[in-house]
Chains A and B, each alone.
Chain A
Amino acid sequence: MLKLDAAIDTWPMLPHDCRIVVVGTVQLMALTSVEREPGHFRSTTSGFRMLLLCLLAIALMVLDHQNQQLVGVRKVLSIMLHPVQVIVSAPFNLGRNMAEATATRSELTSENEQFKQEALVINARLQRMTALEAENARLRALLDSTVKVGDSILIAEIVSVDMNPYRNMIVVNKGGRDGAYVGQAVIDADGIVGQITRDRYFSAEAMLVTDVDHAIPVELARNRLRTIAVGSGELDRLSLPFLPVNADVVDGDLLISSGLGGTFPPGYPVGVIRKIKEVTGQAFLRVDAEPAAALNRIREVLLITPQGGDEFAEAATAADAPPENEAGPDQVSGDVAQDETAAAEATP
């Protein structure tokens, strides 16, 4: 153990938990390494060593699963593995760059023309937006509530790598180095994409709203009926399991983020109601929504940092908690847990 401590002290640039694991593994391997006698073929496996490695793997899994103590280990290992990601995504980037470089002049001019027109339309809308924002601020001041301010934005690109095939996760090319943080909301031009779940320093992992572990507090844009949209595991479907049979919901309703829970800023489109099914004898409707963001086509995403954190707390206190928000599934992200606490705080 003395040797272990000494080794840890001489290696100061890594996080402490990481150093313990790395040095521990090395010492364990040295301790149990097989004597390599010439001509002695049977000695290549050692059950003892196998047992130790299995225990180490199980210990890692328990630590990783239970209380997220291995963030440092993960970060260091993922920085080491960053080159692999770069190599894998390189041909795809190269292909895109080639396509851009070989675009003809007429294509570029027509595209440019199109962008100019779009910019004109968007700017025109923005003019009205400024007036509306000012009006909103005045009205909110009359109501004695906090003024809603804009969000700051970080543009990121999706790295062309496949994550776990069984989950809806993506890797974006901005990480802790660029100011991305765990829990940050990810959007694209059409709506909410997901949230950052792991920071890899040079890049970050994001969970999409459609992942089975993801849930997002939403409200119907039409009547502000609040509920939770849970991922289904399919890229084109969200499910809304907590709408009672008598809820006022119709096909085509727009879902926007409600801002409860504080992870996602309020007001961004999440999806559109596509299928409503009433099952006889069930207290809840079976409602499916289609995500607003083009989850399987996006290349560029925006990481948004909400400015002025008061608005969420304010929204939570203004809310009277509907009963469907209390009943969350067992396996949902921290977002809903937060949402539930926010809702619990709201009830006097």
Chain B
Amino acid sequence: MARRVRLWPLIAAMVAAVAFEIMPLPGILQGFRPPLPTMIMIYCAMMWPQRFGIGTAFCVGLCLDILHGQLLGQNALALTAVTYLTLRFHLQIRIFPLWQLTVTVFALLGFGAFLQFLVEGLAGLPPAGLARWTRVLSGTLFWPLVMGIMDRLRISVEARPSSFN
């Protein structure tokens, strides 16, 4: 049964994550900006698979494309694919211990980055260089933190604790 969830805090978290993507950071840190929208999308798809699907991922991806001035659909494709994989295996990865989950997130983020790399290569756009992969790395390192924050948020948005996990 689809659990009753207050959606507004989650939408706010997603908007904040998208805003973080375009937040000005000092030059060196820009390459290490964790891909928060993708991470929060993974979390939401994992915890509320009935609410957050690939449709949501597609829309968030389009927003990122616009804000970054990238090819329209590039982030959308990557985010949709990552979310699809998360949904496909959400029952398995939800019960992983944290370290295992972090490795999974690393693989998912890497897959998303690889898709974008592929798209840019096919479209003949200038290569992004190393920054794309350092972002995957920093996203993985930040995952336990994001997971902790989102877990707190989950307790506050769910009327009662989830029946599993």
Chain A interface size band reads 35 or more
In the complex the two chains form, is A57's CB within 8 Å of B58's CB? Answer: yes
B84 contact set on A, CB distance < 8 A: 45, 50
Nearest neighbor of A49 in chain B, beta-carbon distance = B54
CB under 8 Å from chain B, chain A span 28-87:
29, 34, 36, 38-39, 41, 44-45, 49-50, 53-54, 56-61, 63-65, 70, 73-74, 77-78, 81, 84-85, 87
Cβ contacts A81-96/B at 8 Å (1 or 0 each)? 1001101110010000
Please tell me if B156 contacts chain A, counting CB pairs below 8 Å.
no
Nearest-Cβ distance from residue A65 to partner chain B, whole angstroms: 5
Please tell me if A139 contacts chain B, counting CB pairs below 8 Å.
no
A166 contact set on B, CB distance < 8 A: 126-129, 131-132
In the complex the two chains form, is B76's CB within 8 Å of A57's CB? Answer: yes
In the complex the two chains form, is A41's CB within 8 Å of B91's CB? Answer: yes
A162-B22 contact given A61-B119, A331-B124, CB 8 Å threshold: yes
In the complex the two chains form, is A81's CB within 8 Å of B24's CB? Answer: no
Q: A84 CA to B15 CA in the complex, in Å?
A: 8
In the complex the two chains form, is B23's CB within 8 Å of A81's CB? Answer: no
Please tell me if B73 contacts chain A, counting CB pairs below 8 Å.
yes
In the complex the two chains form, is A53's CB within 8 Å of B124's CB? Answer: no
Please tell me if A163 contacts chain B, counting CB pairs below 8 Å.
yes
Please tell me if A161 contacts chain B, counting CB pairs below 8 Å.
yes
Please tell me if B69 contacts chain A, counting CB pairs below 8 Å.
yes
In the complex the two chains form, is B119's CB within 8 Å of A213's CB? Answer: no
In the complex the two chains form, is B22's CB within 8 Å of A161's CB? Answer: yes
In the complex the two chains form, is B66's CB within 8 Å of A53's CB? Answer: no
Q: A172 CA to B63 CA in the complex, in Å?
A: 19
In the complex the two chains form, is A36's CB within 8 Å of B19's CB? Answer: no
A84-B18 contact given A54-B80, A331-B126, CB 8 Å threshold: yes
Q: A340 CA to B15 CA in the complex, in Å?
A: 45
Please tell me if B67 contacts chain A, counting CB pairs below 8 Å.
yes
Q: A101 CA to B132 CA in the complex, in Å?
A: 40
**CB < 8 Å neighbour of B19 from A65, A87, A163, A197:** A87
Cβ contacts B76-103/A at 8 Å (1 or 0 each)? 1100110010011011000000000000
In the complex the two chains form, is A64's CB within 8 Å of B23's CB? Answer: no
In the complex the two chains form, is A74's CB within 8 Å of B22's CB? Answer: no
Please list 25 pairs of residues, one from A and one from B, whose beta carbons are closer than 8 Å in the complex, sorted by A's number: A34-B53, A36-B50, A44-B50, A45-B53, A45-B87, A49-B55, A50-B84, A53-B58, A53-B76, A54-B80, A57-B74, A57-B76, A58-B77, A61-B72, A63-B72, A70-B72, A74-B66, A84-B22, A92-B24, A163-B22, A164-B68, A164-B70, A205-B69, A233-B126, A331-B126
Residues of B within 8 A of A (CB): 1-2, 15, 18-19, 21-25, 27, 30-31, 33, 49-50, 53-55, 58, 61-63, 66-74, 76-77, 80-81, 84, 87-88, 90-91, 119, 123-124, 126-129, 131-132
7 smallest A-B Cβ distances: which pairs? Answer: A60-B73, A166-B128, A57-B77, A44-B49, A57-B73, A61-B73, A64-B72
Residues of A within 8 A of B (CB): 29, 34, 36, 38-39, 41, 44-45, 49-50, 53-54, 56-61, 63-65, 70, 73-74, 77-78, 81, 84-85, 87-89, 92, 160-167, 169, 197-198, 205, 212-213, 233, 296, 331
